[in-house]
Chain A
Amino acid sequence: MELIKANEAVVKAAILAGCTQYYGYPITPASEVAMASAKYLPKVGGTFLQAESEVAAINMVYGASGAGARVMTASSGPGISLKQEGVSYMAASELPCVIVDVMRAGPGLGNIWPEQGDWNQVVHGGGHGNYKVIVLTPNCAQEMCDLTILAFELAEKYRTPVYLLTDAYIGQMMEPVNFPKERVKPARKDWALYADADSHKNLVSSIFMSTGGLEEHNIHLQEKYAEIEKNEVRYQEVMVEDADLVMIGYGFISRMLLSVTEILREEGYKVGLLRPITAFPFCSKRLEELAGQGKTFLDVELSNGQMLRDVRLAVGKDATVHFYNRMGGIVPSVEELTNVARGYLK
Chain B
Amino acid sequence: MAKDILQKPGAFFDQFDRKGGAQKTTHYCPGCGHGNAHKLIAEAIDDMGLQDRAVFVSPVGCSVFAYYYFDMGNIQAAHGRAPAVGTGVKRTRPNSIVISYQGDGDLASIGSAEILHAANRGEQMAVFFINNAIYGMTGGQMAATSLIGQKTTTSPYGRTVENEGYPMQMAEIMATLRAPVFVQRCHLADSKGIMDTRKAVRKAIKNQAEGKGFSFVEILSPCPTGWKMSTHDACEYIKTNMLPIFPAKVFKDESETREPFFREIPTLTDEQVIKALELGMLGEPQPRDEKFLKNFTTMKYKFAGFGGQGVLTAGVILAATAMQENLQVSWIPSYGPEMRGGTANCSVVLSKDPIGSPLVVKPDVLAVMNDPSLDTFENDLKPGGLLIVNSSIIARKTKRTDIDTLYIPLTDIASKMGLTAAANMVLLGAYLEYTKLLPLEHLKLIAPRGLKRKELADKNVEAVEAGAKWVRENITAKKTKAPAPVA
Mask, B352-373, CB within 8 Å of A = 1, is 0011111101000000000000
**B328's closest neighbor in chain A, by CB?**
A176
- Indicate if the CB atoms of A66 and B88 lie closer than 8 Å: yes
Contact digits for B47-68, partner A, Cβ 8 Å, 1 yes 0 no? 0000111110110000011010
Q: How far is the CA of A259 from the CA of B361 in the complex (A)?
A: 13
**Given the interface contacts A183-B273, A329-B336, does A67 sit within 8 Å of B265 by beta carbon?**
no
Number of A residues near B (Cβ < 8 Å) is 82
B333 at the interface (CB under 8 A from A): yes
Please name all residues of chain B whose beta carbon is closer than 8 Å to the beta carbon of A52 when the two chains form the complex. 113-114, 116-117
Is residue A223 within 8 Å, beta carbon to beta carbon, of the partner chain? no
Out of B52, B72, B89, B273, name the residue touching A63 (CB < 8 Å).
B89
- Asked if B76 and A195 sit within 8 Å, CB to CB, the answer is no
Contact B52 A195 (CB under 8 A): yes
Distance between A88 CB and nearest chain B CB, rounded to angstroms: 9
The stretch from B93-101, B402-410, B457-465 touching chain A is: B93-101
Selected from B265, B273, B331, the residue in CB contact (under 8 A) with A3 is B331
**Within 8 Å CB of A89, what residues of B?**
78
* B383-407 interface bits toward A, Cβ cutoff 8 Å, 1 = contact, 0 = none: 0000000000000000000000000
B194 within 8 A of A: no
Q: Is A319 an interface residue (CB 8 A)?
A: no
Are A174 and B331 in touch, CB under 8 angstroms?
Answer: yes
Name B87's contact: one of A49, A68, A207, A259 (CB within 8 Å). A49
Smallest beta-carbon distance A14→chain B, Å: 10
- Measured in the bound complex, the distance between the Cα atoms of B354 and A257 in whole Å is 13
Known: A203-B74, A205-B75, A329-B337. A195 touches B328 (CB 8 A): no
Across the interface, do B74 and A204 meet the contact criterion of CB distance under 8 Å? yes
- Would you call A202 an interface residue if the criterion is a C-beta within 8 Å of the partner chain's C-beta atoms? yes
- Which chain B residues numbered 314 to 357 have a C-beta less than 8 Å away from chain A? 316, 319-320, 323, 328-333, 335-337, 354-357
Cβ B113 vs Cβ A45 within 8 A: no
- Asked if residues A67 and B320 are in contact (CB atoms below 8 Å), the reply is no
Contacting residue for B64 out of A112, A113, A207, CB 8 A: A207
Chain A, 1-28, CB within 8 A of any chain B CB: 1-3, 12, 15-16, 20-21, 23
Which chain B residues (277-331) contact chain A, with CB distance < 8 Å?
277, 279-282, 285, 316, 319-320, 323, 328-331
A160 to B249, CA, bound (A): 45
A58: min CB distance to chain B, Å: 8
Please indicate the chain A residues that have their CB under 8 angstroms from the CB of B330 in the complex: 173-175
Cβ of B355: which chain A residues have Cβ within 8 Å of it? 175, 255
Look across to chain A and name the residue whose beta carbon is closest to the beta carbon of B361: A333
B336 x A168 contact (CB < 8 A): yes
* Neighbour of B58 across the interface among A175, A205, A262, CB < 8 A: A205
Partner of B323 from A113, A176, A194, A197 at Cβ < 8 Å: A176
- Complex alpha-carbon distance, A183 and B113, angstroms: 36
**In the assembly, what is the distance between CA of A65 and CA of B75, in Å?**
11
Q: A181 and B274 in contact (CB under 8 A), knowing A55-B81, A67-B92, A207-B76?
A: yes
Query: Cβ of B88 and Cβ of A71 under 8 Å apart?
Result: yes
CB-contact partner of B319 in A3, A15, A172, A209, under 8 A:
A3
Q: Which of A52, A85, A199, A331 has the most CB of B within 10 A?
A: A52
Asked if B18 and A51 make an inter-chain contact with CB atoms under 8 angstroms apart, the answer reads: no
- Is there a chain A Cβ closer than 8 Å to B244's Cβ? no
A56-B332 in contact given A183-B270, A193-B93 (Cβ < 8 Å):
no
| Residues of chain B lying within 8 A (CB to CB) of residue A21 | 88, 91-92
Q: A67-B55, A183-B270, A329-B337 are in contact. Are A195 and B73 (CB under 8 A)?
A: yes
- Complex contact B277–A61 (CB within 8 A): no
Indicate if the CB atoms of A23 and B335 lie closer than 8 Å: no
Whether B78 lies near A20 (C-beta < 8 A) is no
By a CB distance below 8 angstroms, the chain A residues around B77 are 59, 62-63
The complex places the Cα of A15 from the Cα of B277 at a distance, in Å, of 9
A255 and B92: CB pair below 8 A? Answer: no
Q: Could you say which of B64, B73, B328, B329 has the most chain A C-beta atoms within 10 Å of its C-beta?
A: B73
Residues of B within 8 A of A (CB): 18, 20, 51-55, 57-58, 64-65, 67, 71-78, 81, 84-93, 95-97, 113-114, 116-117, 265-268, 270, 272-274, 276-277, 279-282, 285, 316, 319-320, 323, 328-333, 335-337, 354-359, 361
State the 4 A-B residue pairs at the shortest beta-carbon distance, nearest first.
A63-B88, A259-B356, A195-B96, A64-B88
14 contacts between A and B (CB under 8 A): A51-B117, A52-B117, A55-B113, A59-B88, A60-B85, A63-B86, A66-B88, A68-B93, A193-B73, A201-B71, A203-B67, A206-B76, A207-B76, A329-B336
Other A-B pairs beyond A3-B316, A85-B78, 5, CB < 8 Å:
A3-B329, A20-B92, A67-B93, A174-B316, A204-B75
